[in-house]
Structure 1
Amino acid sequence: MSFEKPSVVIDNGSFNIKAGFSCDNHPVTIFRTLVGRPNYLNGGYGREYYDVYIGDEAAAKVVNLEVDHPVVRGKIEHWDNMERIWHHVFYRELKVAPEDRAVILACGATSTMSEKVKCCEIFFETLNCPALCIQSQPVLSMYGSGLTTGICVDIGYDTTDIVPIFEGSIVHYAHMQTGIAGFQISDYIKKSLGERNLLKEIRSLEDIEDIKNQCLYATPNCAMSIRKQIYKLPSGDEIDVSNEAFMAVEQIFQPGILNDNNKSCLPLHDAVVTAALKCDAELRSELCEAIVICGGMSTVPGINERLRIELQGAIDNPVTVLTSSEPYAVAWLGGATFAGLPDAEKIWIKKKQFEDHGEKIIKNKFM
């Protein structure tokens, strides 16, 4: 659908939100999906003036704030705070008026129809957007990789979703989750450092995320020797995180390696194989030739190769694990790509259509 101005693409992540314009090849802004209010209010909002902190600003002041995560396990659970974040995206980050821009909204693989209806109500009735298109993150991740058929492996902050995609549509009955994601990795690092009496050196949870970004890696073989990894604290001191850097990622492929609690979780490669086997036999080879890894944890060095090796040892079909220079933003890039497709016109909902038909047209377009 052609619009006078480039559409806005928003990817709602549990940890980060990505937003930008469909004419660009990278998001304009990436910030934490957080809303913080002063903790001295004790929930008594509305009785006095107070500042609301959004995104990275809330993360930086987390000690003094009551922090809320609007998106939990891929689902929007706190709508007032999500609306604040969207408002912040338009007016503070992108500096555009929402009534001038059509929007592509990327939501989680498990997003329900009632959630999509609520999104439409906010974007049309509150933000006054002229048009809206809601697509799932796994589908857009495939578009961002230049494909319409394959398996999306989204290793996010609080959920890891393995979603087969056929011709741009989710194969819902084959959707798998492993139970191990970025949150569990952070929790392990925090506990491990605590057992070594090093947690007092960590000033905030942001330091844990920094360790994840700088030090984690995946080995092609778990029998390989552990690589020495040193993390420099904000104070200037250095700590050895070699064991944490290795074991944290190894949990993704061997969930039961540390304790019994993770034995109910699925190894990543087993979940991918199970998702493929749930699909029709004639589709499996095509699906296995286009495995797209995305999400925050997909940036860990070596994780693509490790998954390829594990899958190759588990199935007979040739396996291709696609790489991306920016896997954390591949769903956003897919939204920008999708906006320019001629066939996408039939999936947009215009504000007038929503006013005339309401929930009925949402079910017709976004089922």
Structure 2
Amino acid sequence: MSFEKPAVVIDNGSYSIKAGFACDNHPVSIFRTLIGRPSSLNGSYGNKYYEVYIGDDALSQDNLELSQPIEKGTIVHWDNMERIWHQVYYKELKVAPEDRSVILACGSNSNMEEKIKCCEVFFETFNAPSVCIQSQSVLAMYGSGTTTGLCVDVGHDTTDVAPIYEGKMIAYAYINTGLAGSQISDYLEKCLSGRYILSDFKSPLDYESIKKSCLYITENCAVTRNNYIRKYKLPSGEEIDTSNEAFMASELIFQPDLVKGEKTGFVPLHEAIVNASLKCDPEIRKEMFEAIVPCGGLTMIPGFNNRLQVELEYCLSSPFNILSSSEQYAVSWLGGATFAGLSETMKIWVQKKQFEDYGGRIVRNKFF
């Protein structure tokens, strides 16, 4: 099977959707995975006409009830997810879905029922000619030029450490640390609201913006604070000092119990990587360490890769290699674009006729 037109590649992230074509080296569109409806409806969505706002548009409007269709890597609201995919095809990529095969990057913990439902939507609603579903962790390896290694996906509401061997995830060795971007946002909010009277500001604090502009990670946490002053400028022009919060929030990734001052149940990232590798067969651990692939939005925090290198050097006696990239936030999407172009992966795709004939059975056979 070969594609007459480049396949559509969609990375279904909890925080943002990345979409584009398999012929490109960067997503065409990246927007928030959000649906906004007027809060005045009070859930009575079918009774009268109303406008639905999608993605970043939902954030720019007032008095909206916001919904995230993906939570912790799992699709929880299918109608809203379908609207987002509709937005991808018709407004972002401007292509007819029946003309393009599609590859979906799903969460590492996505179950078979979710994959079958995705196929139903794309075949029956969008009339796609063929569909392929792979985990974000697997595709991140392809996006880094390998098929075996440890994927470290630090996202908005999950942090997944997934060993991948020859393009397949070793499910029994998968570890979720329990801490991700949403917990860091909560920590920032708690600390800043405790230090400032937020009602005194003319503009509300945007904690996601503070994360992007202020956070950093040092190789050695015993640093001179004067070298790391961080200030955040509000839209109103007011400035607040976020030096302490920016430092401590990032340290949560590697020292959650120390930062919180209590037992959190979160697994430090470097420990999760070591534990995941120890769950794998000893014969393949050396190969795993040859490609440790960080991906996800939080891995773009300045200093992340250097700190991970330092922490793993303390934990591991064997050599290892971190495959860093300037586009770690999109490496899973890039892997999907690479995967769609490989002739040896064509047998994994599900054709529309196959799904009509065999239903969920063909999905179980292809995407085990």
What is the TM-score when the length of structure 2 is the normalising length? 0.97
Instruction: Please tell me whether residue 214 in structure 1 is matched to residue 218 in structure 2.
Output: no
**Aligned positions of 1:150-299 closer than 5 A:** 150-200=149-199, 201=201, 203=203, 207-226=206-225, 227-259=228-260, 263-299=264-300
Contact residue 19 and residue 332 of structure 1 kept, 8 A: yes
Letter in structure 1 aligned against 2:318: N
Contact residue 31 and residue 56 of structure 1 kept, 8 A: yes
Instruction: Please tell me whether residue 309 in structure 1 is matched to residue 289 in structure 2.
Output: no
Q: 1:222 to 1:326 in 2, by over 3 A?
A: same
User: What runs of 5+ residues in structure 2 fail to find an aligned partner?
Assistant: none
Q: CA deviation at 1:264?
A: 1.3
Q: 1:199 to 1:283 in 2, by over 3 A?
A: farther
Identify the range of structure 1 (159-168 vs 207-216) with the bigger mean alpha-carbon deviation: 207-216
Match of 2:106? 107
Matched residue count: 365
Root-mean-square deviation (Å):
1.2
Q: 1:161 to 1:262 in 2, by over 3 A?
A: farther
Match of 2:39? 39
Identify the range of structure 1 (275-284 vs 23-32) with the bigger mean alpha-carbon deviation: 275-284
Match of 2:55? 55
Contact residue 202 and residue 208 of structure 1 kept, 8 A: no
Partner Cα separation in structure 2 for residue 177 and residue 215 of structure 1? 26
Q: CA deviation at 1:177?
A: 1.0
Cα deviations by residue, 1:310-351 (Å, 9 ceiling, x for unpaired) = 011111111211111110000000000001101111000110
Q: Where in structure 1 do 4 or more consecutive aligned residues deviate above 6 Å?
A: none
Q: CA deviation at 1:261?
A: 5.5
Contact residue 123 and residue 132 of structure 1 kept, 8 A: yes
Q: 1:316 to 1:188 in 2, by over 3 A?
A: same
Partner Cα separation in structure 2 for residue 177 and residue 45 of structure 1? 36
Partner Cα separation in structure 1 for residue 359 and residue 134 of structure 2? 18
Partner Cα separation in structure 1 for residue 177 and residue 221 of structure 2? 19
Q: CA deviation at 1:283?
A: 1.3
Partner Cα separation in structure 1 for residue 307 and residue 342 of structure 2? 34
Q: 1:100 to 1:204 in 2, by over 3 A?
A: farther
Match of 2:136? 137
Q: Calculate percent identity across the aligned residue pairs.
A: 62
Cα deviations by residue, 1:202-234 (Å, 9 ceiling, x for unpaired) = 8456x2111111111100011112310111111
Match of 2:15? 15
Partner Cα separation in structure 2 for residue 70 and residue 103 of structure 1? 20
User: What runs of 5+ residues in structure 1 fail to find an aligned partner?
Assistant: none
What is the TM-score when the length of structure 1 is the normalising length? 0.97
Letter in structure 1 aligned against 2:294: I
Q: Does the residue aligned with 2:14 lie in a helix, a strand or coil?
A: coil
Contact residue 151 and residue 163 of structure 1 kept, 8 A: yes
Q: 1:101 to 1:295 in 2, by over 3 A?
A: same
Letter in structure 1 aligned against 2:327: E
Partner Cα separation in structure 1 for residue 102 and residue 48 of structure 2? 34
Match of 1:74? 73
Contact residue 21 and residue 336 of structure 1 kept, 8 A: yes
Letter in structure 1 aligned against 2:143: G
Letter in structure 1 aligned against 2:254: F
